[in-house]
Amino acid sequence: MTKAIEAAARRPIGTTALTSGAWTDFRFDVELAPGDEDLPLRPLLQVDGKPVRIDDIAFVVWDEPARGEPLAPGRSYRR
């Protein structure tokens, strides 16, 4: 499985520079092409530079409403 992940194509969705020593919120939005909604996503967070501490990271999926239902947040996956 590790080799499959390493060899998989990567599509960067954004970069940001964070200030050291300060709490900073950041987010990236992923726009999927029609038909790609069912493809598995493997978020990769690459940190360059000094060691960092990460707290409360969440990957949130916003589902499209079905049958005229109102817009609402989808599922939230935390690790």
Closest CA to 2 of 37, 42, 59: 42
Q: What global pTM score does this model have?
A: 0.44
The per-residue pLDDT for range 7-56, each reduced to its tens digit, is 878 777 788 887 777 777 778 777 777 777 666 777 777 788 777 777 77
**Confidence label for 79 from pLDDT (cuts 50, 70 and 90):** very low
**Confidence label for 78 from pLDDT (cuts 50, 70 and 90):** very low
What pLDDT was estimated at residue 66? 67
Residues 6+ apart with CB under 8 A from 62: 73, 74
